[in-house]
């Protein structure tokens, strides 16, 4: 069988060493021109593929496999021309993108921190306002309690003072029967019968009342329904306040029986037996303020 012709040029005796190397390189790069070479290349590729499948990894590249691959590529007319290598990435553009992302992350972090600070400040302000309102409410409550306590103390003092100034209750005589005729100092006529009868009952039933001066009618009195009309009697006890209290208590106990209209004693007035004493204005003297005598007006 004739040897396979791979179209490889054979050197002659006249070729130099340099020419031999060039000729060998040209022979290696030349694509096989026969079908046998093409088939041989395909078979080589298949063998390599089968090896990869069996071994599970690519077969190690050798000079023979690289030469076979070149032969197959030449047989297939693949010379690598027209294939462009991927352009390298622009490092400057990547740097700009990285810087932009970093700047955006920093802005977002700053915004989040500002929001957190604002929320913290708002919470602190709210807490401070609530504390202020609570303190004001507590102060107002304390002031109200103090004012209430002061008012209660003032009322208690007033009640105590009124009780101290009120006539001491005296044992009132149970009878209104008159056994003595009262001597009345009149300057404007006689007393009305109701006033005279009441004076008679007082001097007959209140111990010590028969020894005091009784003032009756006089035109100088300011109340026309009192002394000028003969319906009032002044029981002049002087400094004997206990006797004055006893005369007042007798009139209160027998208010309707004696026909009492009102009583003035120690600058206060009583208009009913179950009523309260009312303070009167200062008239300037002990007698004008009825400090030395109870004044009793009777109903005419």
Are 221 and 231 contacting, i.e. CB atoms less than 8 angstroms apart?
no
Same domain as 291, residue 190: yes
Burial of 139 (0-12, 13-18, 19+ CB in 10 A): exposed
Range of the domain at 260: 184-298
Classify residue 206: in a domain, yes or no. yes
Are 244 and 235 contacting, i.e. CB atoms less than 8 angstroms apart?
yes
Classify residue 95: in a domain, yes or no. no
CA pseudo-torsion sign 178, 268, 256, 168: negative
Q: What residues contact 96, with CB distance under 8 A and at least 6 apart?
A: none
Q: 154-192, pLDDT tens digit by residue?
A: 888 887 776 665 544 445 566 889 899 999 998 888 999
Distance, in Å, from the CA atom of 110 to the CA atom of 116, rounded to the nearest integer, reads 10
Amino acid 290: pLDDT:
96
Same domain as 191, residue 126: no
Residue 201 has pLDDT above 80, yes or no: yes
Q: What residues contact 133, with CB distance under 8 A and at least 6 apart?
A: none
Q: 111-164, pLDDT tens digit by residue?
A: 999 999 999 999 999 999 999 999 999 999 999 999 989 988 888 888 777 666
Distance, in Å, from the CA atom of 234 to the CA atom of 212, rounded to the nearest integer, reads 10
Amino acid 220: pLDDT:
82
Same domain as 216, residue 265: yes
To 10 degrees, the CA torsion angle through 234, 235, 237, 242?
-120
Length of the chain: 300
Weakest-pLDDT range from 61-70, 254-263, 286-295: 61-70
Among candidate residues 31, 51, 75, the one where a domain is terminated: 75
263 DSSP β-pair partners: 270, 296
Q: What's the number of domains the chain is made of?
A: 3
């Amino acid at each position: 069988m004739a040897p396979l012709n791979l179209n490889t040029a054979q050197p002659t005796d006249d070729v130099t060493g340099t020419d031999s190397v060039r000729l060998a390189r040209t022979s290696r790069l030349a694509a096989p021109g026969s079908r046998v070479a093409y088939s041989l290349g395909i078979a080589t590729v298949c063998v390599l593929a089968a090896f990869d499948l069996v071994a599970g990894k690519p077969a190690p590249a050798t000079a023979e496999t690289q030469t076979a691959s070149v032969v197959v590529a030449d047989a297939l007319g693949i010379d690598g021309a027209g294939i462009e290598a991927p352009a390298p990435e622009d490092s400057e553009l990547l740097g700009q993108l990285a810087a932009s992302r970093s700047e955006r992350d920093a802005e977002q972090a700053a915004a989040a921190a500002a929001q957190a600070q604002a929320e913290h400040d708002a919470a602190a302000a709210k807490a401070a306002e609530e504390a202020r309102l609570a303190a004001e409410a507590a102060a107002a409550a304390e002031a109200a309690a103090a004012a209430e306590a002061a008012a209660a103390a003032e009322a208690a003092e007033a009640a105590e003072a009124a009780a101290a100034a009120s006539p001491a209750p005296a044992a009132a005589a149970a009878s209104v029967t008159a056994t003595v005729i009262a001597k009345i100092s009149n300057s404007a006529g006689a007393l009305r019968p109701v006033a005279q009868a009441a004076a008679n009952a007082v001097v007959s039933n209140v111990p010590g009342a028969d020894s005091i001066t009784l003032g009756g009618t006089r035109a100088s009195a300011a109340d026309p329904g009192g002394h000028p009309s003969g319906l009032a009697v002044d029981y002049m006890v002087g400094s004997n306040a206990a006797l004055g209290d006893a005369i007042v208590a007798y009139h209160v106990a027998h208010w309707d029986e004696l026909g009492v209209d009102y009583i003035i004693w120690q600058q206060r007035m009583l208009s009913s037996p179950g009523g309260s004493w009312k303070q009167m204005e200062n008239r300037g003297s002990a007698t004008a303020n009825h400090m030395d005598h109870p004044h009793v007006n009777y109903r005419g």
